[in-house]
Amino acid sequence: MVHWTAEEKQLIASLWGKVNVEECGAEALARLLIVYPWTQRFFDNFGNLSSPTAIIGNPKVRAHGKKVLTSFGEAVKNLENLKATYSKLSELHCEKLHVDPENFRLLGDILIIVLAAHFTKDFTPACQATWQKLVGVVAHALAYKYH
Amino acid sequence: MVLSGSDKTNVKGVFAKIGGQVEEYGAEALERMFATYPPTKTYFPHFDVSPGSAQVKAHGKKVAAALVEAANHIDDIATALSKLSDLHAQKLRVDPVNFKLLGQCFLVVVAIHNPSVLTPEVHASLDKFLCAVGSVLTAKYR
């Protein structure tokens, strides 16, 4: 069980309250596909991913990015219970989607960069540490049901 | 991981934009690394690693200088950082995983201070560059 201090919970909630989930999600997924192009392997049916411009403008990327980050919002609401929260999604990513959990870590790192660029000075070292912990724990929960 | 022509251009562009601030970026990246990844502090038992530490500032300058050197000799990073590579292999022996952690923190610092510079393409190039530097520094480990 992950322990969250009061300060960490506050840092998570206050930042999340200011996140535009649609924009941030779209950007995070687009950057994942651009910075780590091998992650495109999961998105053969997304159409044109041939260049950064194509990826950023791709409506399926935007939609899926929003979906992914919306799901992340569930983590923010259920910090004490992440494994249960992501149990079904974990099974899905293993059994149906066949996604190597390393990809969750990559997306987490990208999300941190997106948040840093967006919040700049407000993304203090304490904030970064807390959010890096959160993305790590989410990645772990999503990998938990793999077999 | 091979740096393309546009990767090299992007990386040089980033360091040109950052200019003299790069020393502070180095210090801030270290500070963030220690805060975000506490095990990295194990390599600095002889340091005061608290925020604002003069030792961390000084070390940040060294780290930044090495990155600048690599960027200035981006066609042959291995030669440019050869001595540092020897040092890390023979003396420092920092576990390879830690270079990724510092790289992540350096990207965060660039994102915070220059969000408009860090377009997705530049982000990709800088990430590749930082990986390449880490690879060079661990190349002689075994």
CATH number at residue B104: 1.10.490.10
Residues 6+ positions from B43 with CB-CB distance below 8 Å? B92, B94, B98
Distance from CA of B2 to the nearest CA of A (A): 13
Distance from CA of B115 to the nearest CA of A (A): 5
DSSP state of A94: I
Number of compact structural domains in chain B: 1
Which among B32, B113, B123 is the nearest to A113, CB-wise? B123
Helix axis angle, B97-113 relative to A102-119, nearest 10°? 30
* Inter-chain Cβ pairs, chain A and chain B, closer than 8 A: 60
Which among B51, B108, B124 is the nearest to A116, CB-wise? B108
Predicted ipTM of the assembly: 0.84
> What is the rounded average pLDDT for all residues in chain B?
96
Q: Based on the number of CB atoms within 10 Å of its own CB, is B122 exposed (0-12), middle (13-18) or buried (19 or more)? A: buried
> Which residue of chain A comes nearest to B117, CA vs CA?
A117
pLDDT of residue A1: 77
Annotate chain B with DSSP letters as a single string: ----HHHHHHHHHHHHHHGGGHHHHHHHHHHHHHHH-GGGGGG-TTS--STT-HHHHHHHHHHHHHHHHHHHTTT-HHHHTHHHHHHIIIII---THHHHHHHHHHHHHHHHH-TTT--HHHHHHHHHHHHHHHHHHHTT--
Helix (H) or strand (E) holding A65: helix A59-77
Above 90 in pLDDT, residue A111? yes
pTM assigned to the model? 0.91
- Which domain, by its residues, includes B77? 5-138
Residues 6+ positions from B142 with CB-CB distance below 8 Å? none
DSSP state of A123: S
pLDDT digits (tens, 9 = 90+) for A7-65: 999 999 999 999 999 999 999 999 999 999 999 989 999 999 999 999 999 999 999 99
Beta-carbon count within 10 A of B75 CB:
9
| Candidates B37, B108, B129, partner chain A, best to mutate (most A CBs within 10 A) | B108
Q: How confident is the model at residue B1 (pLDDT cuts 50, 70, 90)?
A: confident
pLDDT digits (tens, 9 = 90+) for B58-93: 999 999 999 999 999 999 999 999 999 999 999 999
Inter-chain touch B118–A125, beta carbons under 8 Å: no
pLDDT digits (tens, 9 = 90+) for B28-59: 999 999 999 999 998 999 999 999 999 999 99
